[in-house]
Amino acid sequence: MKTGFIGLGNMGAPMARNLLKAGHALNVFDLNAQAVQSLVDAGAKAAASPKLAATDVECVITMLPAAAHVREVLAGKDGVLAGIAKGVTIIDSSTIDPQSAKAFAALAAEHGNPFVDAPVSGGTGGAAAGTLTFMVGGSAAAFEAVRPVLSAMGKNLVHCGDTGTGQVAKICNNLLLGITMAGVAEAMSLGAALGIDTGVLAGIINTSTGRCWSSDTYNPFPGVIETAPASRGYTGGFGTDLMLKDLGLATDAARSAHQPVYLGALAQQLYQTMSSRGEGRLDFSSIIKLYRTGEDA
C-alpha cells in the first residue's frame, strides 16, 4: 500500500520503518532533514511538503506533537488536503483532544476523505518492536480499511467507536495512569516511612486489591523492579512532560464535558511541580520524588 507518512519523531520514525519492512511504499515528510534522510536510507521517498507526501498514495498517516501541528499539516498551505485524492483515508496517530479530532474528520469529509483518529500506546519500545496498541475512532468501514497498514506497526487494534473515541480512550487511560502512578508513589513512600521492606510491600500490593500496572510493572520505588526507570535514575521511559500533556488533554476534555476529575486535576498539579523543578524530562514515575522529601529535596 503506498502511504504518505508525516512526522518522523521518536515515535513516527520507528513506525514508518516498520511500514517499510512490511513492504509498504512510503512518501515521508518532516521538518527535520536528518530524520527524513534516515528513512530515505531505509527505502522511503522524501517529499518536499505534506501536500506532496499525500499525492498519489492510498493512505496518509500523521504522527505529530499537538493538534495545532495536525491542523497546519492537513489544512495549511501545501498541506495534505491540497494533494490527497478523494477517497484516500487519513490516519492521525497523534495524541490530541477529541474535539479537534472531530473537527479534522469534518474537514477531511468536506474533501471526500475518510479520517480516523488512531492514537497509540506502547511507547518508543512498542513503536520499534511493532507491538503498539492502536485505539481507533471512525466508522467500521474506515477501521477495516486501515487495518492492513496499522497491523504493520502494532499488534493490538481496537475499534473504539465513532470519530474521536480513539482519543477518548487514550486520554482516559492516561488520566488513570497518572493517578495510579502517584497513588503507588504515596503508598510505597508511606510504607517505607513506616518501616516495611519495600520489596515485601510491593509483593503484597501486587497480589492484592491495590494491584496495578504502575506497581507490578513500573514500580516507582528504586530497586523494586530492576527493569523499571526507577532502578536507573528515572531515565528513559515516558517523560513527565508527556504525562503532563496528556493530563492537560484530560482535564480540558473534562472541562468541556462539565465532568469533575478531582484526583486527575490534583495529579496534574503534582506532575506540574516536577516540571517546574526542572525535572520534566525524567520518567513520570519520578513523581515519587515529591513524596520522599527527606531523601532528595
Window 192-221: residues binding a second copy (CB under 8 A): 193-197, 200-201, 203-205, 207-215, 218
At residue 137, φ and ψ (nearest 5 deg) are -110, 130
Kindly tell me which of 29 and 271 has the beta carbon lying closer to a second copy.
271
Burial of 88 (0-12, 13-18, 19+ CB in 10 A): buried
Per-position x/- string for 83-112, each x denoting binding to a second copy as judged by CB under 8 A, each - no binding: ---------------x--------------
Give CA–CA dist 203/215, Å, rounded: 9
- Given a contact cutoff of 8 angstroms between Cβ atoms, the answer to whether 135 and 160 are in contact is yes
Among the residue ranges 5-13, 38-46, 65-73, 175-183, the one whose residues contact a second copy (CB under 8 A): 175-183
Among positions 238-257, residues that touch a second copy (CB under 8 A) are 248, 250-251, 253-255, 257
- Binding to a second copy by residue 161, rule CB under 8 A? yes
Q: How many Å from the N-terminal Cα to the C-terminal Cα in the chain?
A: 54
**CA neighbours closer than 13 Å in the CB half-sphere of residue 45:** 16
What is the grid cell recorded at 146?
Answer: 486501515
* 170 catalytically annotated: yes
Which one is catalytic: 45, 170, 245, 289? 170
Binding-site member from 37, 38, 176, 231 for a second copy (CB under 8 A): 176
Residue from the set 89, 113, 165, 286 that interacts with a second copy by CB under 8 A: 165
Restricting to residues 260-279, which ones interact with a second copy according to CB under 8 A? Answer: 260-270, 272-273, 275-278
Q: What are phi and psi of 131, to 5 degrees?
A: -115, 25
At 86, give phi and psi (nearest 5°). Answer: -55, 140
Residues numbered 21 to 60 that lie near a second copy (CB under 8 A) are none
Active site residues: 170
